[in-house]
Amino acid sequence: MLLDMTNRPSYLDFDKSTYAWKPDINYREHPELYRVGKGEQGVLICEPYKSEIGQYWRFLNGEVAEQSSEKIFDLFETYIANDDFVGADMARKYLQMGYTRARRYANYKGGKKYDAGDDYAQMERGTGEPEKAAAAAIFYKRWQAAESNMIYSSLKKKWKHERG
């Protein structure tokens, strides 16, 4: 068996047909089809939440991240209050993605981690935009607040046990 020794990121070989989240499903009408998954999976696909939450997702700098994360956290709390676990999980994922994307831009110039012209070698760290670090810190706090919400934690545990 030959091993693939390239540095290619896994997302380059992404197979949409096997992905659990589908863009043609309304997950509010069919929450039973939603899967929590790992990390931020499905965040840019699951409607109507993608449209409801994504319009507020910004991480240009600390001030913008503060406004964005506050609005997304407010949506998170509204979804929890309305017993809408899928919405709450999607809002949590946007908060997490605010952190991870802002960190990537803080660490790497232009947010590019891999050099496609050099066999996808990892780019040099520390070449990014310092103002993105402040944005990342703000999103991190709100993401952790969402994760530690007792109602959300209980709903997530139950959902994963019952549905995945």
> How far apart, in Å, are the Cα atoms of 120 and each of 14, 43, 73, 96, 141?
16, 25, 35, 25, 32
For the segment 5-13, the average pLDDT, to the nearest whole number, is: 64
Beta-carbon contacts of 103 under 8 Å, excluding residues fewer than 6 positions away, are: 132, 133, 136
pLDDT reading at 24 higher than 60: yes
pLDDT band of 1, cuts 50, 70, 90: very low
The tokens for 8 are 């290619």
CA gap 149, 112 in Å, rounded: 33
Q: Maximum Cα–Cα distance for the chain, whole Å? A: 53
DSSP designation for 117: G
pLDDT band of 2, cuts 50, 70, 90: very low
pTM of the predicted protein model: 0.86
pLDDT band of 149, cuts 50, 70, 90: very high
Sketch the domain layout of the chain as residue ranges: 20-162
**What angle is formed at CA 118 by the lines to CA 103 and CA 6, rounded to 5 degrees?**
90
Q: Tell me the per-residue pLDDT of 108-138, one tens digit each, with 9 for 90 and over.
A: 877 777 767 777 777 677 777 888 999 999 9
Q: Tell me the per-residue pLDDT of 67-112, one tens digit each, with 9 for 90 and over.
A: 999 999 999 999 999 999 999 999 999 999 999 999 998 888 777 7
